[in-house]
Amino acid sequence: MDTYTPTTKTISLKQYGIAHNNVHYQLSPKELQGATIQKEMGKQASSGALAVNTGEFTGRSPMDRFIVKDEITEEKIWWGDINIPFDSEKFDKLYDKVIAYLNEKELFVRDCYACADEAYKLNIRVINEYPWSNMFAYNMFLRPTVEELENFDPEWTVVNAPGFLADADLDGTRQHNFAILNFSKKIALIGGTGYTGEIKKGIFSALNFILPVFKNTLPMHCSANIGNDGDTAVFFGLSGTGKTTLSTDPNRKLIGDDEHGWTAQNTVFNFEGGCYAKVIDLSKEKEPEIYGAIKEGAILENVIMDANGVVDYADTSITQNTRVSYPIYHIDNIQQPSIGENVKNIFFLTADAFGVLPPISKLTPSQAAYHFISGYTAKVAGTEAGVVEPQPSFSACFGAPFMPLHPAVYAEMLSKKMQESGVDVWLINTGWTGGPYGVGKRMELKYTRAMITAVLNGDLGLYSYDNYHIHSVFGVAQPRECPGVPTQVLSPRATWNDDEAYYTTAFKLTNAFRENFKKFEAYASEEIRRGGPQRYAF
Ligand code: ATP
Ligand code: MN
């Protein structure tokens, strides 16, 4: 069983320029929780979980994420406002400043690794200013055994100093916070933000460069699980579309909830050792596995508790992005090690706030490539200041903020893998039904689960005219019936009760697709372009 293994090993940080020995190495989650509470940086919830506030930042800050431009990266990175270049000399200076800052602090260090498949293992040393950030690293990365720890050789280093504030003019950052990847030095340098997601997504971004460039493996922003017959399912989707929720399925073994690699041997392995679930409106009835994982060892972020430590998951007064991290073994039904074979189904999850995409449809290979490059979901009012009506949001490969290479590189790899493995690809709308956001409502989780179960159990019937209907606007194939789902729910138009409004809104969305796809047209074959929606407004 993969749990905490005590060690008597100690380390020195002299090689990093840190002279003092006030370094806590490889503390247990319990010790880190104790240290957090003792420093009044967190409280214990009634469930036993640790609850912390991450401070000024309760989400990632994409505009403050940089990549050092140097020999390794210059020619390969897709530079732009997602992958913002950072000067290599400026990096060295800023790094020295952060180290000088940490030289005055008590520190928490953890050796761990990413990639559950031995052949891809990436050893990581995480140096944290705060104990709870170090506990996050325990939860989210993979945990070495005592033997592995004996001769541990860290390849990448995460230096995490939330209390260090940059001086933008002097340091070359945009403002006081930053997350910078340096591929030559193999360092992720994070300062000015306590948001833990920056730690895991820093290493994810590094792997999204390393695996395709050096290891012929496709990195994916997806969750994955495996059935009793050994069939693996993969769920792509942007934040909030349901990767964590839907992969946590009591009838299938969880492989991972966010980051995976698909190898040339047709296996899928998790990069991480834990899950990072949204807890907004979490309920024991609807999501019993995630609810049950929130116990001693888990870290709740930015939730509101009463005097008895009882969490009110409906309270979003700090942020909508309330979270919990826990080691994967907090879920009962898991695949160990976190590797699956035989990929049979791929789901593209989208939370369509226009309410026009079918809740489930099957995609042709052209459509799959088109939708992967588009990476559509929608933002609703409330999540970002100034958003009052649904806004389409496109993020290539369903994870553009973490993808250092041009989207076409990942898309080509995926298309090839889809062909070789003969997978079925499904588009699942976990968003709105019966009208757009404000008029309709979110698709019921039990229906989305029933649709996915039907696919995985082969209950949707053969792919034929009798069983499927081609959507007149989007061109995708909607099943006519699905066990456990009222038939009317399967047709978005039927749920609206207003054909004209439905088509007007559908065309609004297809136009947004077309507009967004323009920047990829030069890279897309005629076949991929044919995978787009069939009709547009004029
Ligand atoms: P991230 O990349 O930020 O981790 P994610 O894709 O893992 O995001 P989830 O954490 O699974 O997203 O969030 C989905 C949210 O939507 C959950 O809070 C879930 O309860 C809610 N939800 C409501 N209806 C549905 C539905 N029909 N399908 C999936 N999730 C739903
Ligand atoms: Mn998730």
Question: Which residue has the least CA distance to atom 21 on ligand 1?
Answer: 242
Residues lining ion ligand 2 (Cβ < 5 A) are 243-244, 258
Q: Are 223 and 256 in contact (CB under 8 A)?
A: yes
Q: What are phi and psi of 124, to 5 degrees?
A: -130, 140
315 is an annotated ligand-binding site residue: no
84-86 β-sheet, strand order: 23-25, 107-114, 122-128, 156-161, 187-191, 178-182, 65-68, 84-86
Q: For 359-437, list the strands marked E by DSSP.
A: 360-363, 376-379, 391-394, 424-429, 432-433
Q: Exposed/middle/buried for 96, CB within 10 Å: 0-12, 13-18, 19+?
A: exposed
User: Looking at the CA of 350, which ligand is closest?
Assistant: 1
User: Which residues, judged by CB distance below 6 Å to any ligand atom, belong to the binding site of ligand 1?
Assistant: 237, 239-246, 258, 276-278, 280, 430, 442-443, 445, 448
Q: Is the C-alpha dihedral spanning 337, 29, 324, 319 positive or negative?
A: negative
**How many angstroms does the Cα of residue 168 sit away from the middle of ligand 1?**
36
Task: Give Cα separations from 231 to 224, 228, 252, 255, 276 (angstroms).
Answer: 11, 7, 10, 12, 24
Mean pLDDT, the chain cut into blocks of 10 residues (538 residues total): 79 94 97 98 98 97 98 97 98 98 98 98 98 98 95 97 98 98 98 98 98 98 97 97 98 98 97 98 98 98 98 96 98 98 97 98 96 95 61 97 96 95 97 95 98 97 92 96 98 96 96 96 91 80
Among residues 36, 47, 58, 60, the one annotated as catalytic is: 60
User: What pTM value is reported for the model?
Assistant: 0.97
Q: Which of 193, 189, 280 is nearest to 239 (CA)?
A: 280
* Terminal Cα-to-Cα distance of the chain (whole angstroms): 60
State the Cα–Cα distance between residues 426 and 378, nearest whole angstrom.
18
Buried b (16+ CB within 10 A) or exposed e, 13-30: beebebeeeebbbbbbbe
Pairwise CA distance, residues 509 & 516, whole Å:
11
CA 419–ligand 2 middle distance (angstroms): 27
* pLDDT at residue number 196: 98
Clarify whether 60 is annotated catalytic. yes
How confident is the model at residue 528, as a pLDDT? 92
d(CA 242, ligand 1 centre) in Å: 3
Distance between CA atoms of residues 226 and 488, nearest Å: 30
**Residue 214 CB-density burial (10 A; 0-12 exposed, 13-18 middle, 19+ buried):** exposed
pLDDT at 3: 75
User: Which residue has 């038939």 as its token pair?
Assistant: 487
Q: According to the model, what pLDDT value does residue 388 have?
A: 64
Spatial separation of the C-alpha atoms in residues 334 and 5, rounded to whole Å: 20
Please, where are the H alpha helices in 237-332?
A: 243-247, 288-293
> Is 239 part of the annotated catalytic residue set?
yes
